[in-house]
Chain A
Amino acid sequence: MIFKQHFQTTRDKAIKFTIALVTAFIMFYPILVVYLGAFKSKGQINADPFGIPNPATLETMKEILGVSSSFWQMLFNSIVITGGTIAIVLILAMAAGVGLSRIQFKGRQAVFNYFIMGLLFPLTVAVLPLMLQLRTLGLTGTRLGVVMAQAAFSIPLSVFIFTGFFKEIPQELQDACDIDGGTLLTFFRHVIVPISTPVVSTVSILVFVQSWNQFLLPLLVLSDQAHYTIPLGVMQYQGQFASGWNQIMGFIAISLLPIGIFYFSMQKYVIEGLTSGAVKG
């Protein structure tokens, strides 16, 4: 009897494990296809699109990583735009979070609600007038324009996360600072900054993934190809080499590396960061 039960649970486990394994393979298969395709010649990929490259060729990769390739410029643009967005969001949202959680003032809740209202507005709803706004400010066609707009749309969730986090700091700590003659700045430097690593990394990850993958906004704002980010570049590249799927796959294989490495090296933090807004909210 015990044997039978033991056998059943082992069998159950084996079945479950197999299901998990097969689905994981299916989920990851499209990515695998990219890396197989990147090492094929044009003839190979058309004849055998999903098989193992035989023989593997580095030609496509060399071409894409070559000095004259547009890839480096796009990578640079993506880094500048994403980096700029993260920096602005962190500084502004963190400051606002401190203001909204550590200072008592009339209308504080109203200001907080005003920011939270932004969670109701997806980017798509505002995108046309936003373009006009950028034009008025002379920011159309510039990377700064993309940065400002992206940062603005990241403000609501970031302010929400920061305010919630800073609210949890005991008032006694702030009072102690006040008694010692410190200002809010001292409190900021000696209390808030040292304990903020988790919340700063959560917000950075959220903004990083959103900004790095953003397509609609740079598509609308940027006009000069020299300013194109990776998503725009991939879209443009696949239009240019409509027949050369090995080149498209090669380009994607390289483009995926930054976010892929980032994801798999810190997957625990990335997954927590990206779902924290929903889990806590």
Chain B
Amino acid sequence: MENIKTLYSVKKLGLILLLIGPAFALFTTFVVMPVFQGAYYSLFDWKGIGPLNDFVGVKNFVRLFGHEPFRTAIVNNLKVVLFSLLFQLPTAFFFALLIGRQKFPGAIVFRSFYFFPYVLTEIIAGVIWRFIYNPQFGFLTQLSGLIGPEKTEIAMLGNPETAFNAIFVVIFWKYIGFHMILYIAGLQGVPKDLEDAAVIDGASPLEVIWHVIIPSIRNTIMISVFLSVIGSFNVFDIVWAMGQGGPDHSTETLVTYLYNFGYKRFAFGYGSAVAIVIFFLCLVFNVLYQKYIVGDSRS
């Protein structure tokens, strides 16, 4: 009897290993280990080859925060966070209200057009917008010819003052559809009778939105904000395609900085320190968000 039991559990263990083992191994090798290795490397001055013996402690981090382009990168990432929350998500919500409720003619078609940029390859999106922003013949330059007395070359991406805002327009365009779809899905769960009751009580459309709709889709809004912030800390492709962090490091973000100053210069220790900063920003946001925002709504 005891033998059968052991045999059974050995068989079960084998089955568990067979089913979960491969995914576990792949995930551990290429995701978990690199993350912890990165944390370790960040404490060394290391070129990626040879022994890890130049321990520098937190010196990499001190150097980072003393480097002007790195500070620009952090400010730019925070800009993406702020602009997304202020402009992108409210606009996405507006579109969701516009086409996602009642019977809006052609809702499916509109939805697919608004969402398409999200599916588009980021690099391709960036290159298309470089064409649109082209200083010699781009959209704004043409527009200046129509409005003003003569064409003036407008170089949004060439000017460090305007370049990052121009890139944000592309980020706005690229991801708005995703958030719109989340809101549309959330709107399906708004109780119709609650809304009707508010209308009968004489509430204006804005009051209905503020007092009925927004509270009912609170969870959706929280997920949308969460994904938007985490995504904002990790933007790379679009920024890369539109200027690789330039001109003059004015459009550097954390990940382009990691590439330009870590990978390109074989500064693996230094680059890993950048990665750790990104990780901590996401983690701190995650923890605070779960604790204060998500936690608040549950109580």
What count of chain B residues pass the 8 Å CB interface test? 91
C-alpha gap A127/B116 in the complex (Å)? 28
Q: Which of A173-181, A196-204, A211-219 contacts B (4 or more CB under 8 A)?
A: A211-219
Closest residue on chain A to residue B18 by CB atoms:
A95
C-alpha gap A117/B127 in the complex (Å)? 34
Q: Give the chain B neighbours of A123 by CB distance below 8 A.
A: 234
Q: Give the chain B neighbours of A225 by CB distance below 8 A.
A: none
Residues A271 and B41 in contact in the complex (CB < 8 Å), given A93-B23, A121-B35, A133-B33: no
C-alpha gap A165/B96 in the complex (Å)? 28
Interface of A is mostly: helix
Taking the complex as formed, is A80 at the interface, i.e. its CB lies under 8 A from any CB of chain B? Answer: no
Q: Give the chain A neighbours of B115 by CB distance below 8 A.
A: 267, 271
Residues A126 and B38 in contact in the complex (CB < 8 Å), given A92-B23, A155-B26: yes
Cβ–Cβ contact A27 & B114, under 8 A? yes
One digit per residue, 1 when the CB lies within 8 angstroms of any chain B CB and 0 when it does not, for chain A 105-138 equals 1000001001101101111111111111100000
Q: Give the chain A neighbours of B106 by CB distance below 8 A.
A: 17, 20
Taking the complex as formed, is A100 at the interface, i.e. its CB lies under 8 A from any CB of chain B? Answer: yes
Q: Give the chain A neighbours of B138 by CB distance below 8 A.
A: 49
Cβ–Cβ contact A130 & B34, under 8 A? yes
Cβ–Cβ contact B22 & A95, under 8 A? yes
Taking the complex as formed, is B144 at the interface, i.e. its CB lies under 8 A from any CB of chain A? Answer: no
B127's contact among A28, A99, A248, A264, by CB below 8 Å, is which? A248
Cβ–Cβ contact B128 & A128, under 8 A? no
Residues A230 and B121 in contact in the complex (CB < 8 Å), given A33-B132, A124-B275, A129-B37: yes
Q: Give the chain B neighbours of A92 by CB distance below 8 A.
A: 22-23, 26
B45 to chain A, nearest CB (A): 14
Q: Give the chain B neighbours of A17 by CB distance below 8 A.
A: 104-106
Cβ–Cβ contact B38 & A129, under 8 A? yes
Q: Give the chain A neighbours of B240 by CB distance below 8 A.
A: 215, 235
B123 to chain A, nearest CB (A): 4
Taking the complex as formed, is A159 at the interface, i.e. its CB lies under 8 A from any CB of chain B? Answer: yes
Taking the complex as formed, is B30 at the interface, i.e. its CB lies under 8 A from any CB of chain A? Answer: yes
Taking the complex as formed, is B142 at the interface, i.e. its CB lies under 8 A from any CB of chain A? Answer: yes
C-alpha gap A19/B114 in the complex (Å)? 13
C-alpha gap A274/B177 in the complex (Å)? 11
B98's contact among A19, A267, A281, by CB below 8 Å, is which? A19
A121's contact among B18, B23, B279, by CB below 8 Å, is which? B279
Cβ–Cβ contact B127 & A23, under 8 A? no
Taking the complex as formed, is A148 at the interface, i.e. its CB lies under 8 A from any CB of chain B? Answer: yes
A118's contact among B27, B116, B132, B271, by CB below 8 Å, is which? B27
Q: Give the chain A neighbours of B236 by CB distance below 8 A.
A: 124, 215-216
Residues A275 and B185 in contact in the complex (CB < 8 Å), given A120-B283, A235-B127: yes
C-alpha gap A124/B73 in the complex (Å)? 15
Taking the complex as formed, is B32 at the interface, i.e. its CB lies under 8 A from any CB of chain A? Answer: yes
Taking the complex as formed, is B173 at the interface, i.e. its CB lies under 8 A from any CB of chain A? Answer: yes
Taking the complex as formed, is A2 at the interface, i.e. its CB lies under 8 A from any CB of chain B? Answer: no
Cβ–Cβ contact B121 & A234, under 8 A? yes
Task: State which residues 195-246 of A face B: CB under 8 Å.
Answer: 209, 212-213, 215-216, 220, 230-231, 234-235, 238, 245
A40 to chain B, nearest CB (A): 12
Known: A115-B27, A123-B234. 10 other contacts (CB 8 A): A99-B19, A103-B15, A127-B263, A128-B38, A129-B34, A131-B48, A230-B121, A231-B123, A252-B127, A267-B108
A-B contact pairs, 19 of them (CB 8 A): A19-B98, A23-B95, A27-B116, A50-B142, A118-B27, A120-B282, A126-B38, A126-B275, A127-B34, A128-B263, A156-B27, A215-B237, A230-B121, A235-B127, A238-B127, A255-B124, A256-B120, A256-B124, A274-B119
**Interface of A toward B, CB cutoff 8 Å:** 16-17, 19-20, 23-24, 27-28, 30-31, 33-34, 37, 46-47, 49-50, 88, 91-93, 95-96, 98-100, 103, 105, 111, 114-115, 117-118, 120-133, 148-149, 151-153, 155-156, 159, 184, 209, 212-213, 215-216, 220, 230-231, 234-235, 238, 245, 248-249, 252, 255-256, 259-260, 263-264, 267-268, 270-271, 274-275, 278-279, 281
**Interface of B toward A, CB cutoff 8 Å:** 12, 15-16, 18-20, 22-24, 26-27, 29-35, 37-38, 41, 48, 95, 98-99, 104-106, 108-125, 127-132, 134, 136-139, 142, 173, 177-178, 181-182, 185, 220, 223-224, 227, 230, 233-234, 236-237, 240-241, 254-255, 258-259, 262-263, 268, 271-272, 275-276, 278-279, 282-283, 286
List the 10 closest pairs (A to B, CB-CB), nearest first. A99-B19, A152-B30, A129-B34, A126-B34, A96-B23, A129-B37, A92-B23, A99-B20, A213-B121, A231-B123
